[in-house]
Protein backbone atom coordinates (compact mmCIF):
# COMPACT_ATOMS: atom_id res chain seq x y z
CA UNK A 1 0.00 0.00 0.00
CA UNK A 2 1.44 3.38 -0.96
CA UNK A 3 1.10 6.62 0.95
CA UNK A 4 -1.60 7.80 -1.46
CA UNK A 5 -3.51 4.52 -0.91
CA UNK A 6 -3.88 5.09 2.80
CA UNK A 7 -7.24 6.41 4.01
CA UNK A 8 -7.04 9.89 5.59
CA UNK A 9 -5.73 9.74 9.13
CA UNK A 10 -6.11 12.23 11.96
CA UNK A 11 -2.64 13.51 11.10
CA UNK A 12 -3.32 14.12 7.40
CA UNK A 13 -6.74 15.64 8.08
CA UNK A 14 -5.36 18.25 10.47
CA UNK A 15 -5.12 21.37 8.34
CA UNK A 16 -3.48 24.54 9.58
CA UNK A 17 -6.79 26.43 10.10
CA UNK A 18 -8.38 23.55 12.02
CA UNK A 19 -5.32 23.19 14.24
CA UNK A 20 -5.29 26.92 14.99
CA UNK A 21 -8.98 26.75 15.80
CA UNK A 22 -8.36 23.98 18.32
CA UNK A 23 -5.56 25.94 19.97
CA UNK A 24 -8.09 28.49 21.20
CA UNK A 25 -8.91 25.89 23.85
CA UNK A 26 -5.92 26.14 26.20
CA UNK A 27 -6.85 22.77 27.73
CA UNK A 28 -6.62 20.92 24.41
CA UNK A 29 -3.23 19.45 25.30
CA UNK A 30 -2.93 17.06 22.30
CA UNK A 31 -3.39 19.96 19.88
CA UNK A 32 -0.84 22.09 21.72
CA UNK A 33 1.63 19.19 21.72
CA UNK A 34 1.12 18.79 17.97
CA UNK A 35 1.56 22.51 17.44
CA UNK A 36 4.77 22.52 19.49
CA UNK A 37 6.12 19.51 17.60
CA UNK A 38 5.50 21.20 14.25
CA UNK A 39 6.72 24.71 14.95
CA UNK A 40 9.32 24.43 17.69
CA UNK A 41 12.11 23.46 15.30
CA UNK A 42 11.94 26.53 13.03
CA UNK A 43 11.66 28.93 15.97
CA UNK A 44 14.64 27.38 17.77
CA UNK A 45 16.66 27.18 14.55
CA UNK A 46 16.08 30.82 13.75
CA UNK A 47 17.15 31.88 17.24
CA UNK A 48 20.34 29.83 16.96
CA UNK A 49 21.20 31.18 13.51
CA UNK A 50 20.65 34.70 14.80
CA UNK A 51 23.57 34.07 17.18
CA UNK A 52 21.93 32.97 20.43
CA UNK A 53 23.29 30.06 22.42
CA UNK A 54 21.14 27.00 23.14
CA UNK A 55 19.84 28.26 26.48
CA UNK A 56 18.86 31.66 25.13
CA UNK A 57 17.30 30.06 22.05
CA UNK A 58 15.22 27.81 24.30
CA UNK A 59 14.07 30.88 26.21
CA UNK A 60 13.01 32.46 22.92
CA UNK A 61 11.00 29.33 22.10
CA UNK A 62 9.33 29.50 25.51
CA UNK A 63 8.52 33.20 25.14
CA UNK A 64 7.15 32.78 21.62
CA UNK A 65 4.88 29.88 22.51
CA UNK A 66 3.68 31.63 25.63
CA UNK A 67 2.79 34.67 23.51
CA UNK A 68 0.99 32.47 21.00
CA UNK A 69 -1.06 30.92 23.80
CA UNK A 70 -2.00 34.40 25.03
CA UNK A 71 -3.07 35.78 21.65
CA UNK A 72 -4.06 32.86 19.39
CA UNK A 73 -7.75 33.55 19.99
CA UNK A 74 -7.40 36.89 18.22
CA UNK A 75 -5.34 35.72 15.23
CA UNK A 76 -8.01 34.65 12.77
CA UNK A 77 -10.18 37.65 13.62
CA UNK A 78 -7.43 40.03 12.49
CA UNK A 79 -6.71 39.66 8.74
CA UNK A 80 -4.10 42.42 8.94
CA UNK A 81 -1.73 39.95 10.58
CA UNK A 82 -1.33 38.04 7.31
CA UNK A 83 -0.42 34.36 7.30
CA UNK A 84 0.12 32.48 10.51
CA UNK A 85 3.69 31.69 9.53
CA UNK A 86 4.47 35.39 9.08
CA UNK A 87 2.88 36.21 12.42
CA UNK A 88 4.77 33.42 14.21
CA UNK A 89 8.13 34.48 12.82
CA UNK A 90 7.48 38.13 13.58
CA UNK A 91 6.92 37.08 17.19
CA UNK A 92 10.18 35.15 17.01
CA UNK A 93 12.07 38.06 15.51
CA UNK A 94 10.83 40.41 18.23
CA UNK A 95 11.76 37.98 21.01
CA UNK A 96 15.25 37.54 19.55
CA UNK A 97 15.68 41.29 19.34
CA UNK A 98 14.52 41.67 22.96
CA UNK A 99 17.00 39.01 24.02
CA UNK A 100 19.91 40.86 22.37
CA UNK A 101 18.79 44.14 23.93
CA UNK A 102 18.96 42.62 27.39
CA UNK A 103 22.32 41.03 26.61
CA UNK A 104 23.91 44.21 25.21
CA UNK A 105 22.32 47.22 26.91
CA UNK A 106 25.42 49.40 26.55
CA UNK A 107 25.73 48.74 22.83
CA UNK A 108 22.10 49.69 22.35
CA UNK A 109 22.48 52.88 24.35
CA UNK A 110 25.44 53.83 22.21
CA UNK A 111 23.59 52.94 19.03
CA UNK A 112 20.83 55.38 19.93
CA UNK A 113 23.34 58.21 20.24
CA UNK A 114 25.80 57.64 17.41
CA UNK A 115 25.46 56.76 13.74
CA UNK A 116 28.87 55.08 13.92
CA UNK A 117 27.60 52.40 16.28
CA UNK A 118 24.35 51.54 14.55
CA UNK A 119 25.78 48.25 13.42
CA UNK A 120 25.35 46.84 16.91
CA UNK A 121 24.03 43.28 16.94
CA UNK A 122 20.48 44.15 17.89
CA UNK A 123 20.17 46.76 15.15
CA UNK A 124 21.62 44.50 12.51
CA UNK A 125 19.20 41.81 13.59
CA UNK A 126 16.25 44.14 13.41
CA UNK A 127 16.95 45.43 9.90
CA UNK A 128 18.94 42.71 8.16
CA UNK A 129 16.97 41.60 5.11
CA UNK A 130 18.89 38.32 5.06
CA UNK A 131 16.92 37.24 8.11
CA UNK A 132 13.99 36.59 5.78
CA UNK A 133 16.15 34.09 3.95
CA UNK A 134 17.10 32.43 7.23
CA UNK A 135 13.41 32.15 8.14
CA UNK A 136 12.60 30.48 4.84
CA UNK A 137 15.58 28.13 5.14
CA UNK A 138 14.53 27.06 8.62
CA UNK A 139 10.94 26.62 7.46
CA UNK A 140 11.91 24.42 4.52
CA UNK A 141 14.23 22.36 6.71
CA UNK A 142 11.51 21.81 9.29
CA UNK A 143 8.95 20.80 6.66
CA UNK A 144 11.44 18.39 5.08
CA UNK A 145 12.30 16.85 8.47
CA UNK A 146 8.61 16.29 9.23
CA UNK A 147 7.98 14.86 5.76
CA UNK A 148 10.91 12.46 6.22
CA UNK A 149 9.50 11.34 9.56
CA UNK A 150 6.10 10.66 8.02
CA UNK A 151 7.75 8.74 5.20
CA UNK A 152 9.79 6.71 7.68
CA UNK A 153 6.61 5.51 9.38
CA UNK A 154 4.86 4.64 6.12
CA UNK A 155 7.35 2.66 4.00
CA UNK A 156 9.35 -0.54 4.21
CA UNK A 157 12.13 0.05 6.78
CA UNK A 158 14.81 -1.42 4.49
CA UNK A 159 13.73 0.82 1.62
CA UNK A 160 13.73 3.86 3.84
CA UNK A 161 17.21 3.00 5.10
CA UNK A 162 18.47 2.81 1.52
CA UNK A 163 16.81 6.11 0.67
CA UNK A 164 18.24 7.79 3.76
CA UNK A 165 21.75 6.50 3.06
CA UNK A 166 21.61 7.83 -0.50
CA UNK A 167 20.34 11.18 0.73
CA UNK A 168 23.46 11.39 2.91
CA UNK A 169 25.70 11.00 -0.13
CA UNK A 170 26.48 7.30 -0.02
CA UNK A 171 27.17 5.56 -3.31
CA UNK A 172 24.34 3.37 -4.62
CA UNK A 173 26.67 0.38 -4.99
CA UNK A 174 27.84 0.69 -1.39
CA UNK A 175 24.24 1.03 -0.18
CA UNK A 176 23.22 -2.07 -2.13
CA UNK A 177 26.12 -4.09 -0.72
CA UNK A 178 25.55 -2.91 2.85
CA UNK A 179 21.82 -3.67 2.81
CA UNK A 180 21.95 -6.81 0.69
CA UNK A 181 19.93 -5.25 -2.14
CA UNK A 182 20.41 -5.17 -5.89
CA UNK A 183 21.81 -1.90 -7.20
CA UNK A 184 18.88 -1.45 -9.59
CA UNK A 185 16.48 -1.89 -6.67
CA UNK A 186 18.26 0.86 -4.78
CA UNK A 187 17.82 3.19 -7.74
CA UNK A 188 14.13 2.34 -8.10
CA UNK A 189 13.49 2.79 -4.38
CA UNK A 190 15.29 6.12 -4.37
CA UNK A 191 13.28 7.42 -7.33
CA UNK A 192 9.96 6.30 -5.83
CA UNK A 193 10.61 7.64 -2.34
CA UNK A 194 11.96 10.94 -3.66
CA UNK A 195 8.62 11.52 -5.40
CA UNK A 196 6.70 10.56 -2.28
CA UNK A 197 8.83 12.83 -0.12
CA UNK A 198 8.09 15.78 -2.41
CA UNK A 199 4.37 14.99 -2.28
CA UNK A 200 4.40 14.75 1.51
CA UNK A 201 6.41 17.98 1.84
CA UNK A 202 3.88 19.79 -0.36
CA UNK A 203 1.03 18.42 1.76
CA UNK A 204 2.75 19.60 4.92
CA UNK A 205 3.36 23.07 3.53
CA UNK A 206 -0.36 23.32 2.82
CA UNK A 207 -1.20 22.14 6.32
CA UNK A 208 1.31 24.30 8.16
CA UNK A 209 0.71 27.47 6.23
Domains in the chain: ranges and CATH: 3-144 (no CATH), 155-209 (1.10.10)
pLDDT digits 0-9 by tens, 65-110 = 998 888 887 766 555 556 777 788 888 888 888 888 887 665 444 4
64 vs 62: CA distance, rounded Å? 6
Question: What is the DSSP code (8-state) at residue 77?
Answer: T
Percent of the chain clearing pLDDT 90 (strictly above): 29
Angle (CA) 129-130-132 rounded to 5° is: 80
Whether residue 16 has pLDDT greater than 90? no
Q: How confident is the model at residue 131 (pLDDT cuts 50, 70, 90)?
A: low
Q: How confident is the model at residue 208 (pLDDT cuts 50, 70, 90)?
A: low
- Dihedral of alpha carbons 185, 189, 192, 195, sign: negative
Q: What is the pLDDT of residue 136?
A: 73
Angle (CA) 46-16-191 rounded to 5° is: 75
pTM: 0.58
Amino acid sequence: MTMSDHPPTRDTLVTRPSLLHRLVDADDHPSWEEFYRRYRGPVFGLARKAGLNEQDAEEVVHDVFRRVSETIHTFESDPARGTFKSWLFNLTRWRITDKFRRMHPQANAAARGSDDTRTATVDRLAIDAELEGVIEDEWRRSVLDQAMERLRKDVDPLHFQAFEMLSRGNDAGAVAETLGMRRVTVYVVNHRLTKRLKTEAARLRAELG
